[in-house]
């Protein structure tokens, strides 16, 4: 495994854009809450650490990961002033094809929203074979993918702002 023994959640604040005025939304699945709450906390802590003001963070909950694209779309529509949205979820492989359908549907839904709308949505959904793998990626030995998603949100929010000033070569 490429991440074996590695914590990928470290970042250098000095290399990140100024996030003081950024507004970030989080849509969090209530399914597997021991995982999704850890992902949320990792994202929230990182956002605060890099300068996002607590009052500029919006959180919505949804029942499961399949509902994330709909809620992200509604958040895009309701809060046009958001700079980025983080979709937080967890799907663990079971004995049926349900895992495949949920993962495929929500991945395509998030991708479509990114292509169709102007507010970037960061994919912070763990799709693991076991609960132990999800635990390792939500604050365990592989760090916290929520932290990584927060850093990606800051970078994409800045890209969105900068893109308005880019001119063709």
Token look-up 């927060």 returns: 150
The tokens for 168 are 């063709």
The DSSP H or E segment spanning 39 is helix 33-49
Are the beta carbons of 68 and 107 closer than 8 angstroms?
Answer: no
User: In whole angstroms, what is the distance from residue 57 CA to residue 76 CA?
Assistant: 14
Q: What is the CATH number of the domain that holds 60?
A: 3.40.50.960
Using DSSP bridges, classify how beta strands 143-144 and 138-140 pair: parallel, antiparallel or unpaired. Answer: antiparallel
Number of domains in the chain: 1
Does the reported pTM lie above 0.95? no
Whether 63 is in a domain gets the answer yes
Tens digits of residue pLDDT in 27-67:
999 999 999 999 999 999 999 999 999 999 999 999 999 99
Torsion of CA 49, 11, 87, 158, to 10 degrees: 80
Whether 3 is in a domain gets the answer no
Whether 10 is in a domain gets the answer no
Whether 9 is in a domain gets the answer no
Q: Catalytic positions, please?
A: 98
User: In whole angstroms, what is the distance from residue 39 CA to residue 145 CA?
Assistant: 6
Tens digits of residue pLDDT in 80-131:
899 999 999 999 998 888 888 999 999 999 999 999 999 999 999 999 999 9
């Amino acid at each position: 495994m490429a991440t074996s023994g590695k914590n990928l959640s470290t970042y250098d604040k000095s290399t990140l854009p100024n996030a003081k005025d950024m507004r970030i939304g989080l849509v969090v699945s209530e399914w597997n809450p021991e995982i999704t709450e850890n992902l949320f906390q990792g994202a929230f802590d990182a956002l605060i650490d890099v300068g996002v003001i607590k009052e500029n963070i919006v959180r919505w909950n949804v029942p499961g990961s399949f509902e994330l694209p709909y809620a992200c779309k509604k958040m895009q529509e309701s809060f046009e002033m958001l700079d980025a949205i983080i979709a937080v979820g967890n799907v663990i492989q079971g004995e049926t094809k349900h895992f495949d359908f949920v993962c495929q549907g929500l991945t395509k839904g998030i991708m479509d929203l990114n292509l169709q709308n102007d507010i970037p949505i960061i994919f912070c959904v763990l799709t693991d074979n076991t609960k132990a793998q999800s635990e390792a990626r939500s604050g365990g030995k592989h760090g916290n993918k929520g932290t990584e998603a927060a850093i990606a949100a800051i970078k994409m929010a800045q890209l969105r702002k900068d893109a308005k000033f880019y001119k063709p070569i």
